Amino acid sequence: MAALAPSLPTPVSRSPTLLRVKQAMWRHPTAIVGGVVLLGLIAMALLAPYLGTVDPQAISPVRRLRQPSSIYWFGTDMLGRDVYSRVVFGARVSLAVGLSVAVLATTIGLAIGLVTGFIRWLDGMVMRVMDGLMSIPGVLLAIALMALTKASLQNVIVAITITEVPRVVRLIRGLVLSLREQAYVDAAIASGTPTPAILLRHILPNTIAPLLVQGTYICASAMLTEAILSFLGAGTPLNIPSWGNIMAEGRSLFQLANYLIFFPGMFLSLAVLSVNLLGDGMRDALDPRLARNM
Amino acid sequence: MSAKTRSALLALWFLFAAPAGSLMVPSALAQQKTLKFVPEADLRSLDPIWTTAYITRNYGYMVYDTLFAVNDKFEVQPQMVDKWRLSDDKLSYTFSLRDGLKWHDGQPVKSSDCIASIERWAKRDALGQKLADLTEGWTVVDDKTFTLKLKKPFPLTLDALAKPSSNVPFIMPERVAKTDAFTQITESIGSGPFKMVKEEWVPGNKVVFVKNTDYVPRQEPPSWAAGGKTVKVDRVEWVYIPDSATAAAALNAGEVDWWQMVPPDLVPLLAKNKDIKVENTDPLGSIGILRFNQLHPPFNNAKMRQALLYLVNQQDYALAIAGDPKQGKPCPSFFTCGSPAESKVGSEILTGKRDLAKAKQLIAEAGYKGEKIVVLSATDQPIVHSQGLVTMELLKAAGLNAELAANDWGTLINRRAVREPIDKGGWSIFHTWLVGPDMTNPAINYPMRGVGEKSWFGWPTDPKMEELRNAWFDATDPSQQQQLIDAMQKHAWETVPFIPTAQFVIPTAYRSNVSGLLISPVAFLWNVEKK
Amino acid sequence: MLGYTIRRLLATIPVIGMVALFVFCLLYLTPGDPAAVIAGDIATVDDIERIRHQLGLDQAFLPRFWVWASAVLRGDLGISIFTNLPVTQLIAQRIGPTLSLASCTLIVAVLVAVPMGVIGAWKAGKLIDRLVMLFSVAGFSMPVFVLAYVLIYVFAIDLDWLPVQGYVPLQDGFWPWLSHLILPSIALGTIYIALIARITRAAMLEVLAQDYVRTAHAKGLAPSAVLMRHALKNAAVPIVTIIGIGIALLISGVVVTESVFAIPGIGRLTVDAILRRDYPIIQGVILLFSTIYVLVNLAVDLSYRFFDPRIQY
């Protein structure tokens, strides 16, 4: 797809990427808002035991389906578990899924993309495999992978990561292919610089920006995918709460106990929204022309 | 805009506008009375002998008929049979079929059809196998009469032929019944009150039946699976709606007429609607089961299993499963409460005050060294899953090293078949539930069996239990039968093949213009009318 | 152009072959299989073994793969283990609803999103642009099934304007068919609308900054003509790209939507098959999906030429 190769930022080598990002983000308040909210949610997840919660897995069939009150701030679910505690602890799982998948997918995608963009004879084969993976609808692939193994947090993360890697590979490969044609890279090859050095010194720094941005979108998408997997019965094990599976478990009761969907849904949307805003802000800050291709 | 764009738009317009002429097509179906029923599951297999799945059994009741059937007093009544006779030496039964019995393709039902069907059924069903073991032979006397010769008197012969739940000895045409019992049949030719419209079957969504106008119902009023099966609608559609919130909404909106199994929590949603009635039409309900793996530690030790008897609180399980005390209650019996076989012997063990100290004592006596306990659960089956969670709490409270393995039902079914120890993919406890009719007597109560490898998953070996069970088969009068059942229960409190967790009833809901629903453990669709 | 098309079509074959192999491997490695599910609750371990043998599930990998692959090449996708019906028949039955849902969603999404993006770009920075951006981010942030439930509650139950669930084939009437698809299309389309609007706006912004647009304005061309004739056409390439990529998103969302609205489509068929381990269906459907995806991407690539004659193949 010739049209998809992005036009590049002119290679900047003086100010480090992170500093540029920070400076530019001050001009984009939405990114700040996104970042702050995200940090807030992460803090909530880490401090969960101290936020007035009880054991999120403690069941009590006698106290099932109580409406939100002063004792049960978000009510209780169909097994008598405190929804507030489950939502707060649920942040751990949902954010863990989002962040892990983002980190893993970008790292693996970067590695594969760099290699395949640079080493021509690998390119054809690897891209066929990536195309094949991309052509299987993500949710179906994730469900199939989950059905293959037992339901656990790690397996959900791996399953979703596998579905996100091909897109990152595509992105990086496209960048590498264009960067490779640049004069200074040609010069480096001509002067005999070993390939790993070229990759690390010249190519890699220019991939960081779009990778960061893509990473935020992957994080958002992974959190939503986890919710969908839970809905279809192939997500994280139900006793460990995540925003997705709290909603999935309580979905048939949404007309009677809408707090079961409302509270986790609100937090999930907030998390996804903040990550998206962060990503948008970062993208606008780094290079508005990237917007065309993301 | 360019000519290209214009023509593209025009094409799109025609694609959608042209059929608009058929806006409100008065379909020929509108004249017929169609009953839209939401069944408990999706129909997959059409062979009620090959599978024990309840949905296939329900389908079987629509298109097939049985020789005998059980009524609401647990009495065996003739159904396809008109007259029958037992010889004085109790070794020979003679059956003659009613008049007017026809297959859906118009052919008359013959004796050879019945015999072939029973033989096929006997190859798969436990009670049928027992009958087959004692059968000397079947003989065709003429097209409507046939005899069964036994080696020994078998008082349960007619009960076997009237078995209400899986596998039901449905009668099929001979050529179909000659199919190997381990190969699925795909045809749907029966002699029952409905005919299946196979062309309109969409697996996962819709099964369509029409009234069998050739069916001759019996004269007696309907009672459970016995009596006259008079169909009072023209067409029945089984509309499978997997999402229960959607099903509730559909019933509220009148898009469907009858919802077979309403999750108890959703009842308030429907109760608000004055056009909907919510009732319990199932007299026997279902029993939750906690099953042990007796091949490996720790539950290969009877004392460990007994310990759990003092921890299990059936009220907790009942609430967790059914949500409402009206829908779920304790049933401290290894046989279905509310059935004649219900035994009260030893039930204090489960109904008395819960005794954590006694449980811990038994655990110590058993020599428990902290072996890992894996509890299998299925997150897509709420009844199974809620039991699993309650059990986990219980095990933790007793200080046992327990782990929950919650996957989907398909994984659970696969894993429970594994006989290896835990570290090789085995299991310690799993949960499931059985419908009341499947636990009403020792013949069909398969969780009670103790035949080692040939037993149900969990594989208990209990020669004494088998001895009592065989004695029950030979018992000649009801009081002797009841004594043996009591003895089996007393023994079960010691060997604990499983623990019944609760008895629950799943309500049914229907629109107020629907009437004639039968009180029965299976949702039958004859006798139901729609105004 | 023709040469390019043929080369691309040939290139899809190894991709599809790869997918077939991958899916087959995935299922082969699955611990557990349909045998136990088929055997039912009362089965013994022997029963399960017998069924497993009957279905050929105990054979080695290569013979099984070879049998299946050669059948596929003949157009035979096998027989569903649970319903004993040919997979091709099941797919044919269920593809209608999914196609209807997908095309309705696509049309709704494009018709709503592209104008949204264009307007946002045109009035960049003003309130309406902010609203467009806000909606497009918000649209991304809610899981499909939550939105679906809210829609059912408001429009089907409270207001009673539309049916709750189900699917009516087109030949049974246009309005019944459409009315059953409106809510699912909105639920499913929201994410798509957000995505397309975003990309449209970004692409339009870039194009509107170009010199030739300023020239067109200076020539005295009306703003709408500028937008339609110059800007949109040039922005078309990334917009069409995202529509193509979004097809995969669509299929993921279709699965959930079909579950909630009880639409008998392919998405639900596949999920059920996966959870039950009905191998022939899983293999057949995933193969079908990837073929569609690959062909759609080819169509998208070819359409670039239509929008931008400079692109040479």
Task: Give me the interface pTM, i.e. the ipTM.
Answer: 0.77
Q: Position of tokens 């098959």?
A: C273
- CA B70/CA B156 separation, integer angstroms: 13
Q: Is C9 on the interface with A (CB under 8 A)?
A: no
- Chain C neighbors of A265, CB-CB under 8 A: 142-143, 146
Q: Is A112 on the interface with C (CB under 8 A)?
A: no
Q: Is C158 on the interface with B (CB under 8 A)?
A: no
- Asked if pLDDT for residue B193 goes beyond 90, the answer is yes
Query: How close B325 gets to chain C, by Cα (Å)?
Result: 28
- Asked if pLDDT for residue A8 goes beyond 80, the answer is no
**Could you tell me the two tokens for A64?**
């099932």
Q: Residues 6 or more apart from B86 whose CB is under 8 A from it? A: B92, B93
CA distances from A114 to A263, B267, C27 (A): 42, 58, 31
Q: Hey, how many other C-beta atoms are within 10 angstroms of the C-beta on B29?
A: 11
Residues facing residue A9 across a β-bridge: none
Q: Which of A79-88, A146-155, A246-255, C124-133 has the lowest mean pLDDT?
A: A146-155
Closest alpha carbon to B41 in B52, B33, B27 = B52
Residue B426: burial class (beta carbons within 10 Å; 0-12, 13-18, 19+): middle
Q: What are phi and psi of B195, to 5 degrees?
A: -115, 140
Give residue C189's identity as a one-letter amino acid code: G
For chain C, what percent of residues have pLDDT higher than 70? 90
- Chain C neighbors of B415, CB-CB under 8 A: 32
CB–CB of B250 and C262 under 8 A?
Answer: yes
Determine the pLDDT at residue B186. 86
In the stretch 113-142 of chain A, residues with CB closer than 8 A to chain C read: 128-129, 131-140
Query: How close C137 gets to chain A, by Cα (Å)?
Result: 7
- Asked if pLDDT for residue B24 goes beyond 70, the answer is no
Alpha helices in chain A (DSSP H): 17-25, 29-46, 83-118, 120-135, 138-148, 153-180, 183-190, 195-198, 204-231, 243-250, 259-286
Q: Which of C89, C111, C153, C174 is best to mutate for the B interface (most B CBs within 10 A)?
A: C174
What does the mean pLDDT of chain A come to?
Answer: 80
- Chain C neighbors of B250, CB-CB under 8 A: 164-166, 262
- Asked if pLDDT for residue A213 goes beyond 80, the answer is yes
- Asked if pLDDT for residue A275 goes beyond 70, the answer is yes
- Asked if pLDDT for residue B15 goes beyond 60, the answer is no
In the stretch 20-39 of chain A, residues with CB closer than 8 A to chain B read: none
Largest Cα–Cα separation, chain B: 96
- Asked if pLDDT for residue A99 goes beyond 90, the answer is yes
Give residue C146's identity as a one-letter amino acid code: V
Determine the pLDDT at residue B22. 36
- CA B452/CA B455 separation, integer angstroms: 5
Q: What is the pLDDT of residues C22-47, one digit of tens each?
A: 878 877 776 666 777 666 666 677 77
Q: What pairing do the DSSP bridges indicate for beta strands B373-378 and B402-407?
A: parallel
Determine the pLDDT at residue A293. 46
CB–CB of B319 and A252 under 8 A?
Answer: no
Q: Hey, how many other C-beta atoms are within 10 angstroms of the C-beta on B216?
A: 15
Q: Is C255 on the interface with B (CB under 8 A)?
A: no
- CA B462/CA B449 separation, integer angstroms: 8
Residues facing residue B65 across a β-bridge: B171
What does the mean pLDDT of chain C come to?
Answer: 80
Give residue B463's identity as a one-letter amino acid code: P
**Residue B27: pLDDT band with limits 50, 70, 90:** very low
Q: Is A65 on the interface with B (CB under 8 A)?
A: yes
- CA quadruple B330, B333, B335, B341: dihedral positive or negative? negative
Q: Residues 6 or more apart from B106 whose CB is under 8 A from it? A: B214
- Chain C neighbors of A234, CB-CB under 8 A: 274-275
- CA C285/CA C127 separation, integer angstroms: 45
- Chain A neighbors of C22, CB-CB under 8 A: 132-133, 136
- Asked if pLDDT for residue A237 goes beyond 80, the answer is no
- Asked if pLDDT for residue C81 goes beyond 60, the answer is yes
Q: Position of tokens 């010889």?
A: B87
Say which of B23, B51, B410 has its CB closest to residue C276.
B410
Can you spell out the DSSP letters for C146-213?
A: HHHHHHIIIIIIIS--S-SS----GGG-HHHHHHHHHHHHHHHHHHHHHHHHHHHHHHHHHHHTSHHH
Determine the pLDDT at residue A101. 95
Q: Position of tokens 């001050």?
A: A26
**Residue A38: pLDDT band with limits 50, 70, 90:** very high
Segment A90-107 mean pLDDT:
93
Say which of C84, C149, C262 has its CB closest to residue B186.
C84
- Chain B neighbors of A147, CB-CB under 8 A: 408, 410-411
Closest alpha carbon to A97 in A140, A162, A153 = A153
Give residue A22's identity as a one-letter amino acid code: K
Q: Is B405 on the interface with A (CB under 8 A)?
A: yes
b vs e for C233-243, b when ≥16 Cβ sit within 10 Å of the residue's Cβ?
ebbbbbbbbbb
**Residue B148: pLDDT band with limits 50, 70, 90:** very high
For chain B, what percent of residues have pLDDT higher than 90? 48
Q: Hey, how many other C-beta atoms are within 10 angstroms of the C-beta on C124?
A: 17
- Chain B neighbors of A61, CB-CB under 8 A: 316-317, 319-320, 390
Segment B393-417 mean pLDDT:
84
Determine the pLDDT at residue C41. 64
Residues facing residue B499 across a β-bridge: B290
- CA B420/CA B502 separation, integer angstroms: 29
Q: What is the pLDDT of residues B222-235, one digit of tens each?
A: 999 999 999 999 99
CB–CB of C173 and B126 under 8 A?
Answer: no
Say which of A137, A247, A289 has its CB closest to residue C248.
A137
Q: What is the pLDDT of residues C118-173, one digit of tens each?
A: 888 887 777 888 888 888 777 777 788 888 888 887 887 778 888 878 888 888 78
- CA B258/CA B239 separation, integer angstroms: 10
The dihedral formed by the CA atoms of B182, B186, B187 and B188, expressed in degrees to the nearest 10: 100
Q: Is C42 on the interface with B (CB under 8 A)?
A: yes
**Could you tell me the two tokens for C182?**
């409106």
For chain B, what percent of residues have pLDDT higher than 70? 94
Q: Kindly report each contact of residues B82-86 with a partner whose C-beta sits within 8 Å and lies 24 or more positions away, as own/partner.
A: none
Query: How close C251 gets to chain A, by Cα (Å)?
Result: 6
- Chain B neighbors of C272, CB-CB under 8 A: 42, 204
- Asked if pLDDT for residue B48 goes beyond 80, the answer is yes
Nearest chain B residue to C92 by CA distance is B202
CB–CB of B243 and C170 under 8 A?
Answer: no
CA distances from B196 to B31, B104, B217, B289, B364 (A): 19, 9, 18, 34, 59
Determine the pLDDT at residue C50. 78
- Chain C neighbors of B413, CB-CB under 8 A: 32, 36-37
Closest alpha carbon to B446 in B498, B409, B483 = B498
Q: Is B319 on the interface with A (CB under 8 A)?
A: yes
Q: What are phi and psi of B203, to 5 degrees?
A: -55, 135
Q: Which of B90-104, B256-270, C88-102, C125-139 has the lowest mean pLDDT?
A: C125-139
- Chain B neighbors of C228, CB-CB under 8 A: 1
- CA A233/CA B133 separation, integer angstroms: 44
- Contact in structure between B309 and B349 (CB atoms under 8 Å): yes
Alpha helices in B109-230 (DSSP H): 111-124, 126-133, 157-161, 174-177
CB–CB of B250 and C166 under 8 A?
Answer: yes
Closest alpha carbon to B289 in B157, B409, B383 = B383
For B191-279, strand residue ranges (E) read 194-196, 206-211, 235-239, 258-259, 276-279
- Contact in structure between A222 and A160 (CB atoms under 8 Å): yes
Q: Residues 6 or more apart from B264 whose CB is under 8 A from it? A: B322, B323, B324, B327, B328, B506, B507
The dihedral formed by the CA atoms of B487, B488, B492 and B497, expressed in degrees to the nearest 10: 170
Query: How close A79 gets to chain B, by Cα (Å)?
Result: 6
Count of A-C CB contacts under 8 Å: 152
Nearest chain C residue to A163 by CA distance is C248
Q: What pairing do the DSSP bridges indicate for beta strands B235-239 and B34-38?
A: parallel
Helix (H) or strand (E) run with residue B365 in it: helix B356-366
What SS3 class is residue B336? coil
- CA B443/CA B475 separation, integer angstroms: 12
Q: Which of B214-218, B254-258, C288-292 has the lowest mean pLDDT?
A: C288-292
Segment B310-333 mean pLDDT:
88
- Asked if pLDDT for residue B201 goes beyond 70, the answer is yes
Segment A187-198 mean pLDDT:
76
Q: Is B391 on the interface with A (CB under 8 A)?
A: no
Predicted structure pTM score:
0.80
In the stretch 121-140 of chain C, residues with CB closer than 8 A to chain A read: 137-138, 140
Nearest chain B residue to C175 by CA distance is B23
**Could you tell me the two tokens for B192?**
């029952």
- CA C313/CA C305 separation, integer angstroms: 8
Segment C56-69 mean pLDDT:
79
- CA B25/CA B9 separation, integer angstroms: 27
Nearest chain C residue to B202 by CA distance is C93
Determine the pLDDT at residue C95. 87
Q: Is A234 on the interface with C (CB under 8 A)?
A: yes
Q: Is A7 on the interface with C (CB under 8 A)?
A: no
Q: Kindly report each contact of residues A154-162 with a partner whose C-beta sits within 8 Å and lies 24 or more positions away, as own/partner.
A: A156/A97, A156/A226, A156/A229, A156/A235, A156/A236, A157/A96, A157/A97, A157/A100, A157/A101, A157/A104, A159/A229, A160/A97, A160/A101, A160/A222, A160/A225, A160/A226, A160/A229, A161/A100, A161/A101, A161/A104, A161/A105, A161/A108, A161/A222, A162/A133
